[in-house]
Structure 1
Amino acid sequence: MNTSYAIGLDIGGTHITAAVIDKTEMKVIDFSLHKESFDSNLPVDQVMNIWKDVINTSIENSKVENIKGLAVCMPGPFDYENGICWIKDQSKYEHFYGSNVRELLLESLKFSNDFPVLFENDAVCFGKGEVFKQQENLSRKVMAVTLGTGLGACFIDKGISVNSGDSVPKDGEIYNLPYKEGIAEDYVSARGLLSHYKALSNIDLNNSLELYNLALNGDQPAIQVFEKMGEDLAIIVLPWIKNFSAEHIIIGGKIANASRLFMPSFKKAIHESGTKILVSISNNNEIAALLGAVSFLRD
């Protein structure tokens, strides 16, 4: 059997992860996983240099010479078909608005213009990857949610991503759903956590990791903020769990690492609603996203 290889790329607001994927076996090639944290609000050329170094390191470590494509998980809003970034006013990629990321990648990596580059929503990649990781999900309706600098979601019915129709929100997105005095992402995201903590303590923190460490050390406002986020998340997703008839909800993203702090209040709200659904925290967000991205090259 001929083996085909592709690069999987998971790009977030504060990180990039790359790996070379065996498309035949759908597995990460040993030693190829490489990641780096960075400031996505740097100028475009500086960001592209960071991406290039991470991708090239991954390829070099894999010892694979014949790469057949590049599959990229990107947060939205983004024109996934044409590779154009429309992210604006989200505290990330502030210099990328209107940029053709496909062309930037091809130029930076010195790949030919016909080299296959595919883009997909980061939450959709995560959800698809979780299906590959847990084969029983191929027969289920699954809702996947990513918690990080933003709030992502996808809906998967028996392995197929669903982003239209009455059973899911517009484009399968929940970040922009009206919620309280704004939208869902204002409350369930890194900035939502930090904003709530500032309101309670009048203290500005640099990132959600600082908040997480405070909560672990018993800081009551920090604990309260995570508990409230779990409750808010449940309120936001419940109507769509019911609409989609989801049987399994999987939560990933960087903030999922703090699940011990928000899952009790999330599960409590789900239970009190009378909704029965399997709830899981992803045990490897990055691998799921990379596998999910490359699965679209297989499709």
Structure 2
Amino acid sequence: MEKRFAIGMDVGGSHITAAIIDVNEMKIVEGSVSKLSFDSNLPVQIVMDYWEKGIRSLCEKINLENLSGIAMAIPGPFDYEKGTFWIKDQNKYENFYGLNIKDLLRERFNFDNNFPIVSDNDANSFGKGEVYKNTKNLTKRVMAVTLGTGLGGCFIENGKIVQNRKDVPENGEIWNLPYKNGIAEDAVSLRGLLDNYKKFTGKQLNEGLDLYHLANSGDEKANEAFSKFGEDLAEVVLPCLKNFNADMFVIGGKLANAGDLFLNSFKEKIKNAGVEIEVAISTDNETSALLGVATLLS
């Protein structure tokens, strides 16, 4: 069988992580992962210079005739079918509003209109990547979340995303689920975590890393803030886990790195609700997203 490769990209507001994906085996080619940091609010042409640099550096490592496409994990709002940015007032890609990334890439690389350029949101991509990392997970019902500046979620059955079905929230999204006096993302996100600390101490921290260091140094209120975060996460996802009859729950995103500070309270809440489920923390969020979005080309 002829080898087929794709370029997978995890698109962030301050960086792009990219790698070559072996589409035949659905694996990341060893040594191909690269990361470029930049300010995505720079003019479009300058930002695209960074994108082009990252893509060309990978193209040099493979035979372009075997390139099956480009697959991008991109945060919303974004039209994933057409490839249009609708991100606004989020301090990232401000100058890309209304622009079509497929057109921009074809212009840069002279790709014809039949060359596959596909995309999906970062939460879906992460979830699928975590499933495909271990073939045993392909038969499971998996709910995955990404915890960071926002709250992402997805539901996967037999390796495929479930979005429009009665046992999952509308479009498979959880960030906007009603929770207490607002929505889930108000509590289960970085701002929710920092708000917990402010409620306990009256002090406003601006960086999650500061709270993480405080908690690890033994600060009681900082640890309470993380415990409350774990409880809120459990309350948000419990109805979803029950409705979907999930076998596995996977946590990713930047806040997953602090999992040891909120997992105990999360698991306790889940256990008290009578739900038995495998809980996993991702060890590599970005490469999971790369692998997951590349499944669109398989």
Residue 13 of structure 1 contacts residue 149 of structure 1 at CA under 8 Å; is this kept in 2? no
2:284 alignment partner in structure 1: 284
- Deviation, 1:136, is 1.4
- Deviation, 1:206, is 4.3
Residue 32 of structure 1 contacts residue 59 of structure 1 at CA under 8 Å; is this kept in 2? no
- Deviation, 1:291, is 1.1
User: Where does 1:133-212 land on structure 2 (aligned, <5 Å)?
Assistant: 133-212=133-212
SS at match of 1:292: helix
Letter in 2 for 1:273: A
Letter in 2 for 1:144: A
1:272 alignment partner in structure 2: 272
Counterparts of 1:107 and 1:199, CA distance in 2? 51
- Calculate the TM-score normalised by the size of structure 1: 0.90
2:18 alignment partner in structure 1: 18
1:93 alignment partner in structure 2: 93
- Deviation, 1:127, is 1.4
2:126 alignment partner in structure 1: 126
Residue 148 of structure 1 contacts residue 255 of structure 1 at CA under 8 Å; is this kept in 2? yes
Residue 196 of structure 2 contacts residue 228 of structure 2 at CA under 8 Å; is this kept in 1? no
SS at match of 1:266: helix
SS at match of 1:87: coil
SS at match of 1:276: coil
Counterparts of 2:112 and 2:213, CA distance in 1? 46
Cα RMSD, aligned residues only: 2.1
Q: 1:262 to 1:63 in 2, by over 3 A?
A: same
Residue 226 of structure 2 contacts residue 261 of structure 2 at CA under 8 Å; is this kept in 1? yes
Letter in 2 for 1:24: N
Residue 19 of structure 1 contacts residue 59 of structure 1 at CA under 8 Å; is this kept in 2? no
SS at match of 1:271: helix
Residue 49 of structure 1 contacts residue 108 of structure 1 at CA under 8 Å; is this kept in 2? no
Q: 1:232 to 1:32 in 2, by over 3 A?
A: same
Q: 1:184 to 1:21 in 2, by over 3 A?
A: same
Letter in 1 for 2:239: P
SS at match of 1:32: coil
**Cα deviation code 1:215-272 (max 9, x no counterpart):** 2222333322222211111111110111111111111112111110111111111111
Counterparts of 1:284 and 1:123, CA distance in 2? 13
User: Where does 1:106-125 land on structure 2 (aligned, <5 Å)?
Assistant: 106-125=106-125
Counterparts of 1:89 and 1:197, CA distance in 2? 26
Residue 14 of structure 2 contacts residue 38 of structure 2 at CA under 8 Å; is this kept in 1? yes
Counterparts of 1:51 and 1:106, CA distance in 2? 12
- Deviation, 1:184, is 1.3
1:244 alignment partner in structure 2: 244
1:44 alignment partner in structure 2: 44
Letter in 2 for 1:165: R
2:64 alignment partner in structure 1: 65
Counterparts of 2:154 and 2:37, CA distance in 1? 25
SS at match of 1:174: coil
Residue 68 of structure 2 contacts residue 297 of structure 2 at CA under 8 Å; is this kept in 1? no
Counterparts of 2:62 and 2:74, CA distance in 1? 26
Residue 152 of structure 2 contacts residue 173 of structure 2 at CA under 8 Å; is this kept in 1? yes
Mean CA deviation greater in 279-288 or 51-60: 51-60
Counterparts of 1:26 and 1:166, CA distance in 2? 30
Residue 141 of structure 2 contacts residue 156 of structure 2 at CA under 8 Å; is this kept in 1? yes
- Deviation, 1:79, is 1.2
Q: 1:119 to 1:214 in 2, by over 3 A?
A: same
Letter in 1 for 2:226: F
Unaligned runs of 5+ in 2: none
Letter in 1 for 2:220: Q
Counterparts of 1:200 and 1:69, CA distance in 2? 50
Tell me the percent identity.
54
Letter in 2 for 1:65: L
Q: 1:106 to 1:213 in 2, by over 3 A?
A: farther
Counterparts of 2:38 and 2:206, CA distance in 1? 14
- Calculate the TM-score normalised by the size of structure 2: 0.91
Unaligned runs of 5+ in 1: none
2:218 alignment partner in structure 1: 218
Q: 1:93 to 1:229 in 2, by over 3 A?
A: farther
Counterparts of 1:95 and 1:202, CA distance in 2? 37
- Deviation, 1:109, is 4.4
SS at match of 1:223: helix
